[in-house]
Chains A and B, each alone.
Chain A
Amino acid sequence: MELYSKGHRACAGCAEPIAVRAVLNEAGPNTIGVVCTGCLEVVSTGWPETAWEIPLIHAAFENAASVASGVEVALRKLGKKDTNVIAFGGDGGTFDIGFQAVSGMLERGHNVKYICLDNEAYMNTGIQRCSSTPYGASTTTSPAGKYSIGENRPKKPIAAICASHDIPYTATATVAYIEDLRKKVRTALETEGPSFIHVLVPCPTGWRYPSDKTIEISRLAVETGIFVLWELKGSDFNNIKITKKIRNRKPVTEYLKTQGRFRHLFKPEIKQDVIDRIQKEVDEKCKRFGVDL
Chain B
Amino acid sequence: MTKLTIRGNMATALGAKLCRPDVIPAYPITPSTLFPEKISEYIADGELDAEMIRVESEHSAMSACIGASAAGARVCTASASQGIALMSEMLFIAAGMRLPIVMAVGNRALSAPINIWCDHQDTISQRDTGWLQFYAEKNQEGLDLMIIAFKVCEDKRVLLPAMVGIDAFVLTHTIEAVDVPDQKLVDEFLPKYEPELRLDPEKPMTFGSFGTPEFYQEFKYMQTEAMEKAREVIDEVFAEFKKKFGREYRKITPYKCEDADVIILTMGSMSGTARAAVNKMREEGKKVGCCKLTVYRPFPAKEIVELTKNAKVVAVLDRDISPGFGGALYGEVSAAFVNEEKHPFITNYIIGLGGRDILIKDFEWIYERSMDVIKKGRVEKPVQWVNLNEEVL
Direct contact of A and B (CB under 8 A): yes
Which A residues fall within an 8 A CB radius of B? Answer: 29-32, 34, 41-42, 45-48, 50, 52-60, 62-63, 66-78, 83, 100-101, 103-104, 107-108
A67 touches B67 (CB 8 A): yes
Q: Answer whether residue B72 sits at the interface, using C-beta atoms and an 8 A cutoff.
A: yes
B70 touches A54 (CB 8 A): no
- Of B181-189, B202-210, B233-241, B339-347, the segment with at least 4 beta carbons within 8 Å of chain A is B202-210
Q: Which of B210-228 contact A (CB under 8 A)?
A: 210-212, 215
The closest CB in chain A to the CB of B215 belongs to A47
- Complex-state Cα separation, A280 to B260, whole angstroms: 84
B70 touches A57 (CB 8 A): yes
Asked, given contacts A46-B212, A77-B50, A78-B22, whether A66 binds B67 with beta carbons under 8 Å apart, the answer is yes
B73 touches A68 (CB 8 A): no
Which B residues fall within an 8 A CB radius of A? Answer: 22-23, 25, 50-51, 53-57, 59-61, 63-73, 75, 89-90, 93, 97, 199-201, 203-212, 215
B60 touches A52 (CB 8 A): no
User: Which one of A29, A42, A47, A59 lies within 8 Å of B66 (CB-CB)?
Assistant: A59
A70 touches B66 (CB 8 A): yes
B59 touches A78 (CB 8 A): no
User: Which one of B25, B53, B57, B210 lies within 8 Å of A42 (CB-CB)?
Assistant: B210
| 6 CB-based A-B contacts, threshold 8 Å | A47-B209, A56-B206, A56-B207, A57-B199, A73-B23, A77-B22
- Min CB gap B122→A, angstroms: 20
Question: Most B CB atoms within 10 A — which of A46, A56, A57?
Answer: A57
B201 touches A70 (CB 8 A): no
A66 touches B60 (CB 8 A): yes
B22 touches A63 (CB 8 A): no
Q: Give 7 new A-B contacts, CB below 8 A, not counting A32-B201, A66-B67, A100-B56.
A: A50-B209, A66-B59, A70-B23, A70-B25, A74-B72, A77-B23, A78-B73
The closest CB in chain A to the CB of B54 belongs to A108
User: Which one of A74, A104, A107 lies within 8 Å of B71 (CB-CB)?
Assistant: A74
A70 touches B67 (CB 8 A): yes
- Complex-state Cα separation, A73 to B280, whole angstroms: 54
B63 touches A101 (CB 8 A): yes
Q: Which residues on the A side are within 8 Å of B210 (C-beta)?
A: 41-42, 45-47
Q: Which residues on the A side are within 8 Å of B93 (C-beta)?
A: 59-60
A71 touches B199 (CB 8 A): yes
User: Which one of B51, B60, B65, B68 lies within 8 Å of A100 (CB-CB)?
Assistant: B60
Q: Which residues on the A side are within 8 Å of B89 (C-beta)?
A: 60
Q: Which residues on the A side are within 8 Å of B203 (C-beta)?
A: 55
Q: Which residues on the B side are within 8 Å of A41 (C-beta)?
A: 210
A63 touches B59 (CB 8 A): yes
- Complex-state Cα separation, A83 to B208, whole angstroms: 20
B67 touches A59 (CB 8 A): yes
User: Which one of B23, B55, B212 lies within 8 Å of A74 (CB-CB)?
Assistant: B23
- Min CB gap B183→A, angstroms: 19
A45 touches B201 (CB 8 A): no
Q: Which residues on the B side are within 8 Å of A108 (C-beta)?
A: 53-55
Number of A-B contacts (CB under 8 A): 156
A71 touches B70 (CB 8 A): yes
Asked, given contacts A52-B206, A71-B70, whether A47 binds B64 with beta carbons under 8 Å apart, the answer is no
- Min CB gap B18→A, angstroms: 17
Asked, given contacts A66-B60, A70-B25, whether A55 binds B199 with beta carbons under 8 Å apart, the answer is yes
B53 touches A71 (CB 8 A): no
The closest CB in chain B to the CB of A67 belongs to B67
B51 touches A77 (CB 8 A): yes
B211 touches A55 (CB 8 A): no
Q: Which residues on the B side are within 8 Å of A60 (C-beta)?
A: 63, 89-90, 93
- Complex-state Cα separation, A72 to B212, whole angstroms: 30
Q: Which residues on the A side are within 8 Å of B71 (C-beta)?
A: 32, 70-71, 74-75, 78
- Complex-state Cα separation, A72 to B56, whole angstroms: 16
- Complex-state Cα separation, A37 to B261, whole angstroms: 55
User: Which one of A58, A76, A104 lies within 8 Å of B51 (CB-CB)?
Assistant: A76
Q: Which residues on the B side are within 8 Å of A30 (C-beta)?
A: 201
Instruction: Return the 5 tightest CB-CB contacts between A and B, nearest first.
Output: A70-B67, A70-B64, A104-B56, A66-B63, A58-B208
Q: Which residues on the B side are within 8 Å of A71 (C-beta)?
A: 67-68, 70-71, 199
A83 touches B201 (CB 8 A): yes
- Complex-state Cα separation, A200 to B61, whole angstroms: 30
Q: Which residues on the B side are within 8 Å of A104 (C-beta)?
A: 55-57, 60
A70 touches B53 (CB 8 A): yes
A66 touches B68 (CB 8 A): no
Asked, given contacts A59-B63, A66-B64, A73-B23, whether A53 binds B55 with beta carbons under 8 Å apart, the answer is no
- Min CB gap B338→A, angstroms: 36
- Min CB gap A258→B, angstroms: 32
- Complex-state Cα separation, A76 to B208, whole angstroms: 22
- Min CB gap A129→B, angstroms: 23
Q: Which residues on the B side are within 8 Å of A74 (C-beta)?
A: 22-23, 51, 67-69, 71-73, 75
A32 touches B60 (CB 8 A): no
User: Which one of B59, B64, B209, B215 lies within 8 Å of A69 (CB-CB)?
Assistant: B64
The closest CB in chain A to the CB of B21 belongs to A77
- Complex-state Cα separation, A59 to B50, whole angstroms: 23
Q: Which residues on the A side are within 8 Å of B64 (C-beta)?
A: 66-67, 69-70, 73
The closest CB in chain B to the CB of A28 belongs to B201
- Min CB gap B223→A, angstroms: 14
A62 touches B68 (CB 8 A): no
User: Which one of B23, B56, B67 lies within 8 Å of A103 (CB-CB)?
Assistant: B56
- Complex-state Cα separation, A63 to B25, whole angstroms: 14
Q: Which residues on the B side are within 8 Å of A31 (C-beta)?
A: 201
- Min CB gap B100→A, angstroms: 14
Q: Which residues on the A side are within 8 Å of B51 (C-beta)?
A: 73-74, 76-77
- Complex-state Cα separation, A108 to B52, whole angstroms: 11
Q: Which residues on the B side are within 8 Å of A57 (C-beta)?
A: 66-67, 70, 199, 206-208
- Min CB gap A5→B, angstroms: 11
Q: Which residues on the A side are within 8 Å of B208 (C-beta)?
A: 45, 57-59
- Complex-state Cα separation, A29 to B215, whole angstroms: 30
A45 touches B67 (CB 8 A): no
- Complex-state Cα separation, A60 to B64, whole angstroms: 12
Q: Which residues on the A side are within 8 Å of B209 (C-beta)?
A: 45-48, 50, 58
Question: Most B CB atoms within 10 A — which of A30, A66, A70, A71?
Answer: A70
